[in-house]
Amino acid sequence: MEPVCTVVGHVRKSETGDTWIEIADKFWEAALQIERFSHIIVLWWITGRDNPESRANLSDYPPQENAELSGVFASRSPARPTPIGHSIVAITKVDTEGHRIHIDQIDAHDETPVVDIKPYMPSSDKVDDARVPSWFKDNVPRYTS
């Protein structure tokens, strides 16, 4: 049995800079209580890399300076066997009538399929003092001071 994802909505970006996830009407019930969380984990499909060549890519050089050749399990390369994107984002507004979850930003294009949303829970998702290789140490932090 193949692991086949269900598309539950799409990333939308307006020309004025608004960003939201438009949940398909039939899945809106799944967003009940989501406004009680400040942040969510969005799993999305990297459609632009869902081709045999990109899915056969196993290692490449991360774009950071001085990065060493890295396997795709040790990088966020979009070209990987399962082209699934993972973004932690902040909820800015929940539009119950429009079935939209407005968010602050996401590294995904307009119309990108979203396959799952999970609430961000510090108890399981936050790691203090995680170690990363030197080439990722200067990445600009998004939600930490």
Residue from 10, 20, 39, 99 in contact with a second copy (CB under 8 A) = 39
Burial 77-106 (b: 16+ CB within 10 A, else e): bbbbeebbbebebebeebeeeebbbbbeeb
3-state secondary structure of 25: helix
By CB under 8 A, residue 30 contacts a second copy:
yes
Cα–Cα distance measured from residue 123 to residue 15, given in angstroms and rounded to the nearest whole number? 36
Residue from 49, 50, 78, 92 in contact with a second copy (CB under 8 A) = 50
Strands 9-13 and 19-23: antiparallel
Query: Restricting to residues 97-126, which ones interact with a second copy according to CB under 8 A?
Result: 113, 115-126
Cα–Cα distance measured from residue 14 to residue 18, given in angstroms and rounded to the nearest whole number? 5
| Residue (30 or 110) nearer to a second copy, CB | 30
| Residue (14 or 145) nearer to a second copy, CB | 145
Residue from 10, 11, 31, 108 in contact with a second copy (CB under 8 A) = 31
Residue from 11, 40, 103, 106 in contact with a second copy (CB under 8 A) = 40
By CB under 8 A, residue 12 contacts a second copy:
no
Strand partners, 103: 19, 91
DSSP 36: G
CB of 33 to a second copy, least distance (A): 4
| Residue (12 or 84) nearer to a second copy, CB | 84
